[in-house]
Amino acid sequence: MKSISRRALMLYALVAVFLVGSGILFGTLYVNADKWAMRRENRHVFSGGALIAAGTITDERGEVLAETKDGKRVYNDSKKVRTATLHVVGDAGGYIATGVQSTYKDALTGYSFANGVYDIKKYGKGNDMALTINADLCVAAYDALGQNKGTVGVYNYKTGQLVCVASKPAFDIANKPTQSIQNDTTGAYDGVYLNRFFSGLYTPGSTFKVLTSAAAMEHKPSLLQEDYTCTGENPIDGGSVKCNAKHGKLNFEKALNVSCNSVFSKVTVEVGKEGMSETMNRLGFNTSMDIGSIHLAKSRFSLENASDLDLGWAGIGQYTTLVNPCHMLTIIGSIANNGQKTMPYLVESIRSQSGREIYSDRPKENAEPEALFTPEVAKELQKMMRSTVKNKYGDSKFPKLEMCGKTGTAEVSSENGGKKPHAWFVGFSEREDFPYAIVVVAENGGSGGSVALPIASKVMKKAADLYLK
């Protein structure tokens, strides 16, 4: 009997080891199967290290941006479209980390844990993806950037649809200048694989004064009723914040119109570190954000060791503050949307070869909206930004669009070799039938008013041609 008992115990032990081993094997397979399937050695999915089995990618109108033909990835017939949409679509080799061919490669290939690569073998390609962008608007934005490196983004601030994402420099994906990129000594291809809209971080300059205005409204609303005097600088702690002019007597709204550094640095010190930090953290600074499967660079705002002079510079968009363009567009869109935050999204749908929708980044219906601003603060910001366009830039820049906006000229540190400032524009249309917001960054482009504003004008005019009936 003892012998039988020992044998039974050994059998139970073996069964237990088998079950534990099977559990570990299954768990490892479940966690890592997609990574193993997506290895570049998998010839069902890759050839020569390049993705070949993905489905068709289209823009909002059904224009084909990328597809698989005869076992190869091919792209739009137009060189301009291929170049302007490069960073959104991505490359088959995965160099552009935020391109949808990289971030959504599992879904595009049709791989699933249950079926593996069965659908790829059955249909010869994976699932089809419809994007929210308009290829023609991306081309217009890319062209409008001219010789500037930088980015342009446009989205519908009510629905969240990203209709334009352009990043420069880029290249024609069908004729990649590999040697020119690898051997570049001119800087023409610096950051060519980086989508500056999703992954860029820039000193915001005077566009940040819109956010400082919000902090003042929330923490020191009496500051909006005061009259100010600008003598060309604001002395603080033995130093000073220089202004771009001697504006004389002016109120808060006029200070935003003329982008008065003296007034805004003074207001920032009055709001204080705690008030400024509370508002910026609530707006998403120092927090990771995602657009579907695309991870955004984290905007940074910190006053931890700031003096009052540093605080004054921070309030006008300088100091150590860095902003991601997509994040800034989301904040500006929230102002336009009466304080309600609508996150941008890029993937309208992914459909299986049978036509069934299996994925979408569309905001969920009946989801509880997040408020970045109270309606009262949003309305006041709308009024001030509308006044800035009417009284400073001129409505002729945006005919019949009822634009609200703010330029920025962001000085960069001397560590960058004395390069020109980053030129910014942020804004939106108040028209009910044209709910679009825009962000423009011309990297080391110079003045926001002379460089970024004309870019925004061209892009919004093209958007009006496409969406206003």
Three state DSSP letters for the chain? CHHHHHHHHHHHHHHHHHHHHHHHHHHHHHHHHHHHHCCCCCCCCEECCEECCCCCEECCCCCEEEEEECCEEEECCCHHHHHHCHHHHCCCCCCCCCCHHHHCHHHHHCCECCCECHHHHHHCCCCEEEECCCHHHHHHHHHHCCCCEEEEEEEECCCCEEEEEEEECCCCHHHCCHHHHHCCCCCCCCCCCCCHHHHCCECCHHHHHHHHHHHHHHHCHHHHHCEEEECCEEEECCEEEECCCCCEEEEHHHHHHCCCHHHHHHHHHHHHHHHHHHHHHHCCCCCCCEECCEECCCCECCCCCCCHHHHHHHHCCCCCCEECHHHHHHHHHHHHCCCEECCCECEEEEECCCCCEEECCCCCCCCCCEECCCHHHHHHHHHHHHHHHHHHHCHHHCCCCCEEEEEEEECCCHHHCCCCCEEEEEEEECCCCCCEEEEEEEECCCCHHHHHHHHHHHHHHHHHHHHCC
pLDDT of residue 123: 56
pLDDT of residue 458: 98
pLDDT of residue 51: 54
- Confidence check: pLDDT of 113 > 50: no
The region of weakest confidence among 161-175, 213-227, 414-428 is 414-428
> pTM surpassing 0.85?
yes
As a whole-number percent, the residues of the chain with pLDDT over 70 amount to 85
Taking all residues of the chain, what is their mean pLDDT, rounded to a whole number? Answer: 89
